[in-house]
Structure 1
Amino acid sequence: MSLLSHHPRRLIIAITGATGVAYGVRLLQILRDLPEIESHLMISDAGVLNLHQELDMRRKDVEALADVVHNVRDVGASIASGSFQSDGMIVAPCSMKTLASVANGLSDNLIARAADVVLKERRRLVLMVRETPFNLAHLRNMTSVTEMGGIIFPPLPGFYHRPQSIEEMIDHTIGRVLDLYAVPHTLTPRWSGLKSET
């Protein structure tokens, strides 16, 4: 018998102050129904404001969706160490402030520190950046994160599957993100090629 205890797969989720908090909430809802994955959540103060503005949700409502909740100011939390094993981290949505902190290794709060740890341990970091249009600082920060091994994933909706609702557009995007972590799902139909003209 192995002396090592079996741990579920772990995903770190952060919700920051960009528009699009519905992506983070939907991601947590999906992970909640997957017992093989343990979710670790952080919400920035600006993220809390957007939860109220965009979804009429309170912090505690969203935190209830996660397996473990961390205070964004607790830089001594378990996820701040490389010894904490995880499959990686998703920032959904990712503000330009958080992007800049990650790109420059500031680690000024637990979100930026956890992202820094994921990068240094060569794990998968996905930043669902939200801003438009981008200025040069945004683009340079995205380049820096990409060069460090992170994935820049703006939540741009696809229309080839002919979504009938905002919810379907969100699910399509979240499904693509989950694909990056090999998490099985049925959120959106798989591409089967273009339909031929009749």
Structure 2
Amino acid sequence: MAFRNSLPKTATITTFPLLAPDITNPNCTNCCLPITTNIKIVDFVLPRPSDLLRHRQAAHKVDNVEYLVKYAVAIERMKSLPADDQRNFMQQSNVHRAYCDGAYYQVGFPGLQFQVHKSWLFFPFHRWYLYFYEKISGKLINDPTFALPFWNYDDPDGMQLPTMYAKSNSNALIWASQTQNMRVG
């Protein structure tokens, strides 16, 4: 309510609908998701209230060695899965790239990219994406309570690359091509 009352009387807020991605006509070279017809679709079921909740830590404050090892092992195992396994690290990366990097056009608009980052779908998509990424990670290390750390931009100490991602090139948490760009910029 406070937000609405703080807007000037002349302020206008607009948004545009985002249509479904046209998966039959991709605009990508290596990140499009495979079109499969033999996969059984399973409806999402909310966790039971009795299920253990995951506790996410601010990435810049993580200093628990056991947690860091679990996280690194989860990533290593994800990277070592067969390339065609949908839980594979690159397959997971491709899910994000397909919907957030303009890999598809919108249905009926061949020149208009489907781009989650520029729409109201930003938060729901990433919440869904990280939920399943976290579940895959936890399953790979046999820890149903495993939680990804979050990047806390609200804390001045959290406004820089967290140590866990910058320690060494042998660290499974580092994706070399992205890390080099982050260190330079």
The TM-score bracket by the shorter chain reads under 0.3
Structure in which a larger fraction of residues adopt strand: 1
Bigger Rg, which one:
2
Task: Provide the TM-score with structure 1 as the length reference.
Answer: 0.23
Highest RCO, 1 vs 2 (Cα 8 Å, sep ≥ 6): 2
